[in-house]
Structure 1
Amino acid sequence: MRSSTFLLLMAITPAAVMAQDVSRDAYFGEISLSAGFADDPRVIDMVAGGSVNLSQANQFDCNGFVSDAPDYQIDYSTGSADFELSFFAESTVDTVLLINAPDGQWHCNDDYSEELGLTAGVTFERPLAGIYDIWVGVYNEGDVYAETELYITELASLLTDQGSETSGSSGTAANGSPQVIGSGTAFAVTNEGHLITNYHVISECSSLRFQLPGALAIEATVVATNESFDLALLKTDSTTRAAPFRTQGRIRLGDDIVVYGFPLLGDLSSSGNLTNGLVSALTGLGDDLSTFQISAQIQPGNSGGPVFDIYGAVVGVVVSTANQDYFAQQSGNIPQNVNFAITSDITQSFLRANNIRYELSDNSEELSTADIAERAQTMTGALLCYR
């Protein structure tokens, strides 16, 4: 199999692969999806391959073995927002994707990205509405009926960029369209669409999109920033439930906290990730009074997300994790799970300075972690950075 990692995508005439019968029922089912669908990516378990040898079709450069009937079928509806539609196959063996699009054109790929473990992938930059018949094949005949997962997603750019704040993507596609260069987390602080995140999350973005779990991504604009405290205020046109800030005094050492955000978007869950822990220290690095230390695990992409207390009130904004290389060079020690958040006081002062009337919590009853998670999902989303 070729070792290159670029997408090889070729369109051929419908008559080129006579063995494939689009009129037959798909072996592993069918689904109707609309642009902006929830639970992205959709993952379908199946076995790959069949008796049809694609190398006998000389009209296109794609090899492998597929079945005669489609493995899966999608009825896709487009919307007003622009989404790419991508299909990937993940398996322990080399796979092949063959897709018949709504316009009758065939698209085949057998070499997408070995680095990501995706040996076959097809992306439609401007997907058509209609039926997509999908064959998931294997490159080697001896691998027929290997267990495989078919991924259907509108977040392909995040998957290939690894979804981190420090993504090293080139930024702009060959056609000049903006590309996702990283992601973070943001949460609503008013019902009028104001969001809080970190300055470092948005500092190099030419445009931003905010996406709550299961909702369409919407445009977000920068209203104000404070680089010193690493805060940014954004605005969207949507009405979003606001996260209330704590009013019951300052946090204490040992307080239980919950962190919700979107780390490693494209690798971890698109519906968000929740961790819990304790307030480990009341100050940050060098006794910085604007931050405090937490034991809850965070990853790239958590930055800008809320830190909740046991009452579901915001007590901080996730900002950073200890630089292990720095500590190793300075002291020879490698810190474990040393993470920091901006204090609620600093965040509220930033909002007041920008004339934002934020919500304050009046809840005095402890909430379960599951209840806090449910609330967090209604007010916290992934923040996509484009350039």
Structure 2
Amino acid sequence: MRLLNSFVGLSLLLGWALFAATTGSAAGAGRLINCHEKNRGLVTRTRPDACEGRVVSDAEAASIRQRRQDYVKESLGVNVSPSVLGKRMAGVGAGFFVDDKGTILTNAHIVKGCSTITVSPPGQKSSPARLEEISLALDLALLKTNLRSRRHAVFAPADHRVSGEVAIIGYPSQGSPQQTPILTKGTLPDTGSRPTAARPLPLKVAVRPGNSGGPVLDASGRVIGVVFAAIDTKRVYQQTGQLARDIGMAIPNGISLPFMTRNGIQPTLADSPKASPDLLKEAKRYLARVECWL
């Protein structure tokens, strides 16, 4: 909401400046004109002899101001949706489409208790989403939308042995909510055994707020897990005396696949890995930012 408040504040400031300029004394009102300073993209009310730009009509001045406000809103990456007016953003995470019917898989802790949920696929505006199913025990949730993604995620089989290089894709916070998805590379240690539903996947990767709910991909782009947590480095050090930097945890397919199946979703599986030269480009086709509003 910080970005949204910034835009609203700017709009009020511009509106007040216009009000102040156009409601001066009756004696001075007739001597004011609309002056368009092209280099700055601004329109001000000023005296004719003080104008260093082009004199424009009231209608053109209003159009220029509106274009500037639209530009500021776009630059800030704000999606203003009537469904969230009057609400505050409580959290941001990731999710991804798992079928061609607009179903998104994400973490339960991202959408728990939200009065409104919206989703934003890359390059698209926010759209409302409905909580279809949630499991707090598994930290998984399914959202229903009216969107149709260009592609949905492909999963590795639940018993597939995973190790080596992996990548996570989400919206990691960088001081403010991230608007575009970011790929972060890491590794998954080879434990010498196949993953089980009882054991989460440990990831040697920098997990940040906003990564939760995003997919963990193997080198071929198959989903092998869902990011849900990061190890608390400070707490681990206090308890063990050891530094555990950039350690994340993911929900393995042995948990997420049965969860989807029980709720009527038939996830797409790929037994054999395929070449995927650009993981981020491919993932953008089925990824979405998940936004919780209160």
Moved over 4 A (4+): 5-8, 16-23, 67-70, 101-105
Structure 2 distance, partners of 1:21, 1:327, is 66
Conserved? CA contact 1:245–1:361, under 8 Å? yes
1:333 is aligned to: 242
2:97 is aligned to: 188
Whether 2:152 is the aligned partner of 1:242: answer: yes
CA change 1:266–1:151 in 2 (3 A) is farther
Structure 1 distance, partners of 2:76, 2:275, is 37
1:201 partner SS? helix
Match of 1:373 among 274, 277, 280: 280
Conserved? CA contact 1:199–1:226, under 8 Å? yes
CA change 1:269–1:180 in 2 (3 A) is closer
Give matches, 1:45-194, under 5 Å: 69=53, 131-132=65-66, 152-155=75-78, 177-194=86-103
| Count of paired positions | 262
Structure 1 distance, partners of 2:67, 2:39, is 11
Structure 2 distance, partners of 1:197, 1:327, is 27
Conserved? CA contact 1:20–1:68, under 8 Å? no
Task: Structure 1: give runs of 5+ residues left out of the alignment.
Answer: 31-51, 58-66, 71-100, 106-128, 136-148, 158-172
Structure 1 distance, partners of 2:35, 2:89, is 37
1:224 partner SS? strand
Q: Deviations over 1:297-354 (max 9, x none)?
A: 2210100000111111100000100023431332233420111111012110100111
CA change 1:350–1:288 in 2 (3 A) is closer
Task: Structure 2: give runs of 5+ residues left out of the alignment.
Answer: 1-5
Q: Which has the higher strand share?
A: 1
Whether 2:238 is the aligned partner of 1:319: answer: no
Match of 2:125 among 207, 216, 219: 216
1:94 is aligned to: none
Paired AA for residue 243 in structure 1 = A
* Residue range with higher mean Cα deviation, 355-364 or 232-241: 355-364
Paired AA for residue 203 in structure 1 = K
Whether 2:33 is the aligned partner of 1:26: answer: no
Q: Please state how far the C-alpha of 1:156 moved relative to its aligned partner.
A: 8.0
Paired AA for residue 207 in structure 2 = I
Structure 2 distance, partners of 1:302, 1:20, is 53
Whether 2:136 is the aligned partner of 1:227: answer: yes
Structure 2 distance, partners of 1:346, 1:16, is 65
Whether 2:289 is the aligned partner of 1:382: answer: yes
Paired AA for residue 26 in structure 1 = K
The percent identity for this pair of structures is 23
1:132 partner SS? helix
Paired AA for residue 27 in structure 1 = N
CA change 1:190–1:156 in 2 (3 A) is closer
Give matches, 1:217-296, under 5 Å: 217-240=126-149, 241-247=151-157, 249-253=159-163, 255-264=164-173, 267=176, 270-280=179-189, 289-296=198-205
Conserved? CA contact 1:223–1:233, under 8 Å? yes
CA change 1:288–1:217 in 2 (3 A) is same
Whether 2:210 is the aligned partner of 1:301: answer: yes
1:113 is aligned to: none
Structure 1 distance, partners of 2:292, 2:271, is 34
Paired AA for residue 354 in structure 1 = N
* Residue range with higher mean Cα deviation, 261-270 or 340-349: 261-270
Report which of the two structures shows the higher radius of gyration computed on alpha carbons: 2
CA change 1:288–1:132 in 2 (3 A) is same
CA change 1:13–1:340 in 2 (3 A) is same
CA change 1:134–1:221 in 2 (3 A) is closer
* Residue range with higher mean Cα deviation, 327-336 or 256-265: 327-336
Paired AA for residue 284 in structure 2 = Q
Higher relative contact order (CA 8 A, sep 6+): 2
CA change 1:386–1:68 in 2 (3 A) is farther
Paired AA for residue 157 in structure 2 = T
Conserved? CA contact 2:35–2:52, under 8 Å? no
Conserved? CA contact 1:20–1:69, under 8 Å? no
TM-score (norm 2): 0.74
Conserved? CA contact 1:22–1:69, under 8 Å? no
Q: Please state how far the C-alpha of 1:150 moved relative to its aligned partner.
A: 10
Q: Please state how far the C-alpha of 1:242 moved relative to its aligned partner.
A: 0.7
Structure 2 distance, partners of 1:272, 1:20, is 48
Structure 2 distance, partners of 1:303, 1:20, is 55
CA change 1:24–1:228 in 2 (3 A) is same
Q: Deviations over 1:135-154 (max 9, x none)?
A: 9xxxxxxxxxxxxx998335
